[in-house]
Amino acid sequence: MSRYEPSRIEPHWQQEWDKAGAFTAKRDPLKPKYYVLEMFPYPSGRIHMGHVRNYTMGDVVARHKAASGFSVLHPMGWDAFGMPAENAAMERGGHPKDWTYGNIADMKDQMKPLGLSIDWSRELATCDPEYYGQQQAMFIDMMEAGLVYRKAAVVNWDPVDMTVLANEQVIDGKGWRSGAAVERRELTQWFFKISDYSEELLSALDGLTNWPEKVRLMQANWIGKSRGLQFGFETVGAPAGFETLEVYTTRPDTLMGASFAAISPDHLLAKTLEADPKVAAFLAEARKGGTTAEALETAEKIGLDTGIRVKHPLDSKWELPVWIANFILMDYGTGAIFGCPAHDQRDLDFARKYGLPVLDVFKQHKDGPDVGDIAFVAPKTDVVQYVRAINHSGMLDAEKAIDTAIEFFEDNSIGKEVTKFRLRDWGVSRQRYWGCPIPVIHCATCGVVPEAKANLPIELPYDVSFDIPGNPLDRHPTWRDCTCPKCGAKARRETDTMDTFVDSSWYYARFTAPRATTPTVLEDAAYWMNVDQYIGGVEHAILHLLYSRFFARAMHKTGHLPVKAIEPFNALFTQGMVTHEIYKTTDAQGRPVYHLPEDIVWKDDKPFVRVRTRDLSIFPEANYLSKDEVSPGIFEFLQAAEVIPSAKMSKSKKNVVDPMNIIASFGADTARWFVMSDSPPERDVEWTSSGAEAAFKHLSRVWSLCDRIGQMPADHKGEGDTDLARATAKAIDEVTKGIEGFAFNKAIASLYAFTNT
């Protein structure tokens, strides 16, 4: 009888797999291929249970497919650029590069004992010049293909750190690091023309039948297609060049309820009027505050009457005032609207504040024309009674009324149907050091010129310092200074780097030929693409996946991917988090105090802190009290405690379970088994030490069971036992279905049932 000793078995087999190159992906013309990919990690330095769950799912699929006769590609890499490395350099000194590569080495050491079937020969890090140099080559190709351009855009600017901040980095209108009030600034930035693909990225979602419905919906909403009418108001008293004012509306059926027109503070007309000090003062006021959702939400609606008038398109004697209003967005529609207060809440708020008329289009308000303070927005699917209609009368389906209105404008050549998308072009400029340098050069005579491909990669300089705010590339003269690849004159290198989402938008393609001297090798890409199964967190449902879908199309256009790979992920699975229950109270100073459930044992309805007799030391970071220290206070503590059953694991809550400790105590298979059991994989799973112990016990039982069978005489091994044969067949069937249907919890349950028989 041997004992189940994972610490002896696991390293042994991991070495054997390594020696045999068991997981090295090979193009095999005799086998169907299968590409399984988990979203690659950011090298923070520590793996956590979420990683274990994510990679175990992929590993189960990869091993299942390999065993089913597929030639499997299951690679791993590092999403290695980004701000944390720079923050670490600023806070602790050192260099982002050293910090990142150190973390990669540490994390790889932690991942190895998990025994994943990964082809490590294809490992890549996005901060390798070998990787980002190819990204630069593609950037240049995309410039030539007209998919990249520069334009001025309004951004969140932190005046202390001297950098652009992402919206998520602005908290209450202040920079998250500096605490300085964020300004809206117009900067010239680089953009990818993702909006060229709005229609296609939207319609192709229908073909992604193996993606979660939820993700497809979120993407569809993000792309945000809408159909409407665009027309020009004839202006009265406007400056030269503004004889008409183009507006866009999705509700032309309410045009007879118009009572004003409004333009964005960023509208060209507003800027033209800025010579007027009153206008200038208003625009300054309107531009204050960040561009974040919160800032916009709490901002009060303010406006200024320009004195300009426009003629109603259906009645030239009817004139409407033109206002500049802070709630009109420049980058949607034409940056100008007609205001219909009765049937749009924003317009109503605005009209009430400035005393503008409110005209009801529908017969909604029996007691009179006043709609009060709540606008009536007729759902497009409703049949409504129009009292002020354009070219029809009485009851009509709102959708049809919109159609007839558009028809009327088109028939009279005074407007046309226009489809708009919410999706904006992707701004990729970052004023940061630790990212992929944008490979262009600013030349006094030639303008903006792409770097010559022969000069790639444009490597980041190592000798930089982070002791003063701002982008160190900006103040690195020998790196910045260069010669123009076109005319040979002295020129200046672009110091912006790319958004790290660019790095992760094509790594799946690079894995098919990770050492190639071109971004991809079409032959390899044609064999391995698409990713058959992609697995990762829902938090990437929109940005990463949308950018990747765009990038695959751009890579096809620039000749780096075959046409079959334009939709790169055949199937997507979004897995839930690993959470951990926690007891929370506050100490005398009001600071939160946390206790983990495994600290506490209930006995006769009284809790006391667990004293471990076995030296498992699963949670060395938790504060254990010895028996003598068990104070009566623990009872009061738990009485007052707030129980948070599914708290996300986080350092501040001290409820992080380090996979390394679990592996040390129970082995990797226990950790893997547990995170796959219990909860359906798309849902959060709650980590419990009892559950982990149960997983270990079960694996031990299986071990001793096999041991006993091994020692049985041949004629007692159960051959010919029809009940056993039936149970075996059932278990195989259920496990197969469980794996293929991403119901690992059910596969595991059926294995429990099998060993219980």
How far apart are CB 272 and RNA at their closest, in Å? 18
Residue with smaller CB distance to RNA, 544 or 701: 701
Residue with smaller CB distance to RNA, 546 or 555: 546
Q: Are 678 and 579 in contact (CB under 8 A)?
A: no
Q: Are 537 and 528 in contact (CB under 8 A)?
A: no
**Pairing mode, strands 225-236 and 336-339:** unpaired
Residue with smaller CB distance to RNA, 422 or 480: 422
Separation of alpha carbons 637 and 600, rounded Å? 11
Q: Are 352 and 300 in contact (CB under 8 A)?
A: no
159-187 in b/e form (b: 16+ CB < 10 A) is eebebbbeeebbeebbbebbeebbbbbee
Residue with smaller CB distance to RNA, 522 or 664: 664
How far apart are CB 399 and RNA at their closest, in Å? 14
| Binding positions for RNA, rule: CB under 7 A | 213-214, 217-218, 221-222, 224, 226, 228, 248-251, 264, 293, 296-297, 299-301, 326-330, 332-333, 335, 337, 344, 346, 420, 422, 538, 541-542, 602, 613-614, 645, 677-680, 683-686, 688, 690-691, 693-694, 697-698, 700-701, 743, 745-746, 748-749, 752-753, 756
Residue with smaller CB distance to RNA, 280 or 753: 753
How far apart are CB 610 and RNA at their closest, in Å? 11
How far apart are CB 681 and RNA at their closest, in Å? 9
Q: Are 55 and 116 in contact (CB under 8 A)?
A: yes
**Residue 290 Cα to chain centre, angstroms:** 22
Residue with smaller CB distance to RNA, 71 or 326: 326
Say which residues have a Cβ less than 8 Å from residue 697's Cβ, sequence separation at least 6. none
How far apart are CB 336 and RNA at their closest, in Å? 7
Q: Are 385 and 392 in contact (CB under 8 A)?
A: no
Separation of alpha carbons 437 and 431, rounded Å? 10
How far apart are CB 542 and RNA at their closest, in Å? 6
How far apart are CB 206 and RNA at their closest, in Å? 15
Separation of alpha carbons 525 and 35, rounded Å? 11
Residue with smaller CB distance to RNA, 399 or 684: 684
Residue with smaller CB distance to RNA, 236 or 743: 743
Which contiguous run of DSSP H or E holds residue 696?
A: helix 689-711
In the block, tokens 């009179």 appear at 368
Separation of alpha carbons 80 and 128, rounded Å? 9
Residue with smaller CB distance to RNA, 44 or 688: 688
How far apart are CB 415 and RNA at their closest, in Å? 12
How far apart are CB 745 and RNA at their closest, in Å? 6
Residue with smaller CB distance to RNA, 67 or 374: 374
In the block, tokens 């672009």 appear at 494
* Long-range contact set of residues 407-410: C-beta below 8 Å, sequence gap at least 24: 409/229, 409/231, 409/252, 409/313
How far apart are CB 302 and RNA at their closest, in Å? 8
In 3D space, the residue among 374, 381, 380, 346 whose CA is nearest the CA of residue 360 turns out to be 374
Q: Are 20 and 495 in contact (CB under 8 A)?
A: no
Residue with smaller CB distance to RNA, 164 or 405: 405
For residue 53 the two structure tokens come to 């769950």
DSSP for 395-445? Answer: EEEHHHHHHHHHHHHHHTTSEEEEEEES---EE-EE--SSSPBP-EEEETT
Q: ω before 457 within 30° of 0 (cis)?
A: yes
Residue with smaller CB distance to RNA, 341 or 519: 341
How far apart are CB 620 and RNA at their closest, in Å? 20
How far apart are CB 339 and RNA at their closest, in Å? 8
